[in-house]
Every structure is written in C-alpha cells, then in structure tokens.
Amino acid sequence: MHRILSACMGAALAVSVAGPASAQITFDFDFGDGDFNIDVWPACLYDAPRAGEPAVRRNARASGYRRIRNIKYHGRKFNQGNRCGFYRAVAVRNGHRFVIYANADTGRLISARRVGQDRAGKRLNEGQIRARLRNQGYSHIRNIRFVDRGRREMYVARAHKGGAVFRVTVDERTGKVENRKRLKTVRASQKQVRRQLRRRGYRKIANLRVRDRGNTEYWVARAQKNSVTYRVFADIETGVPTRRVRLENERASQRDVRQTLRAAGYRNIRNLRFVDRGKREQYVARASRRGQTYRVVVDANSADIVRARRVN
C-alpha cells in the first residue's frame, strides 16, 4: 500500500470507511483524466475485533441448533458477501448434523451445510449392510450404527468370523469391510464339541484340539463312525462337524457306498466303479430316484455323496 501511495503523489485521495473494523474500506484515486478504486478489508490485514464464541453459540441456539462444538475462527474471506473472516462450527438440528458459518463481527449465521446430504441417497441401509456382511462370511452381526465423522462416513458393527469377534468398519455405499479389529475369540468347549459329535454317531473321540490358521480357527478330532476312523473338523463356535477325512488311506467299500446311496433314496444301483483322480478318489455309479436316472459321484474315503447329475 505504501508503494501505491508513493506512486500516486499529487493525486487526490479520498477514503471512505463504514461499519465495524472488518467492513470494506474504499480508496478513491482521482488523477484528473480518470479515477480508480481499491477495496481493502482490514480484517485480512490485522487481527480485527471478533464477536467471539459465546455470540456464535448464542445465535446458533436461537436458530434451533444444539450440540454446538468445534467453533473455530478462520481469517479469510467467506464466499458470500464482502466479509473477511468467519466462524465455523458443527451443530445438530432436527436430528441432522450441519456445518454452520457465522459472521466474524456479529456472530450471526451466514450459511449452513448439512453433512452427508449429497451422499445420503447412495448410502446403504442397515438391512443391506447386514446382508453384505453375511456375504463376506460374518455372522452374529449386531450393534450396527452409522457414524458421521465429517468428510468420512461409515457403518460400524460387531460380528463373528472364524471363531473371533471383530469390530468392523464398513463402507456406507458398497458394504465392503474397510477395517476390522479383533476383540476376542468365542469358542465352544470340548464338552460341547464331543456332544455334537456323539449326536452324529461318532464314537471313540480322541485328540480333540483347536487349530489356528490365522484368521480362521476350528476344532479337529479323531473319531470313529460305523467302524471307520475319521479326522473330523468342527465349527469353532458351535462345535458342529463341518467335514471329515477318512484316515489310514482306508477306501470305503462298495457295500458302504451302496448303503449311502440307498439311505439317500437311490435304487437300481448299477455300474458302480472306483475312479482315481490323483488327489481325489471317488466312486461313480448310476442309480434311479423318483423315476429319474442319475450319475452319482461318491467320495471314496468318507462314502459321502459329492454330486449327482441327471442323465437321459
């Protein structure tokens, strides 16, 4: 400014000031053949008097806002009107969160912006978040709540996976788990696992222990069923058997396979043969059920039906 005044020596200078210290000041220069104006806001040049946080809080409450917090002064020009410096705060009205802006001189509200208003239409609801978590392998989902942290919005919930309890952070638009924190492990007791195995006909249960494979835990035991020894795998939370492997490389007999097929409702069993697929050993047969003919594949170790395909 000093340089401008020095360059304008001899010119007529008129200064008009109106309003408080942060109001607009206009410098009028008259050179005879023309004039020009320079507008200056003193609040940008020095620390002008401010309304203060109590005035901002008082005006916000008068406008119906509650839970007013994070009141901060910003010493730059606001995008509405010729104001230099403003207050910014976060408040709640009618259950919605707003960012409010107030005049630096009077504390009166200038504008308000609802947080997340532009993205609200794209946000998944609680039922959709629950379904997305189930698709990602989580169970026992509870305490789902929406969290708004200004620029970042998310869902937070508690869920079980692999025998552990997690606090998961979920993207509000895609339902994808962005982050999770392991809280504790929920395991069935050995007594519960043994009870579940006995209910399914297993006897001589031994070597019952927990296997931890990183984020996945499960029970494993050695047990017998129908005079056949198996390695049985059970769910870590419920103790319910999930799969089994026949031990000692004992292949199920054709008699065992026929009993399995008859128990599943198949009749007229024929062309029963053993097929070695390298790591997979299977029995293949043709059988009839409900007037239809099927090609049935049976696991050679466990004698369980793997799949059945109807044939013409």
Distance CA 246, CA 236 (A): 21
> Residue 150 has what pLDDT?
55
> Residue 275 has what pLDDT?
86
Q: Are 109 and 78 in contact (CB under 8 A)?
A: no
Q: What is the dihedral of CA 254, 256, 257, 260, to 10 degrees?
A: 160
| CA-atom Rg of the chain in angstroms | 38
> Residue 209 has what pLDDT?
87
Domain span including residue 179: 121-183
Distance CA 95, CA 254 (A): 69
Please check whether residues 146 and 195 belong to one and the same domain: no
Q: Enumerate residues 6+ apart whose C-beta is below 8 A from 132.
A: 124, 170, 174, 175, 176
Angle CA(169)–CA(171)–CA(174) in degrees, nearest 5? 140
- Answer with the one of 151, 183, 215 that is the final residue of a domain: 183
Show the tokens assigned to 292: 């239809």
The list of the chain residues with pLDDT below 70 reads 1-49, 76-84, 116-121, 149-152, 163, 185, 213-215, 248-250, 277-279
Distance CA 154, CA 193 (A): 38
Please check whether residues 171 and 195 belong to one and the same domain: no
Distance CA 183, CA 250 (A): 42
Please check whether residues 104 and 143 belong to one and the same domain: no
Distance CA 44, CA 271 (A): 93
Q: What is the CATH number of the domain that holds 90?
A: 3.10.450
Q: For the chain, what is the domain count?
A: 5
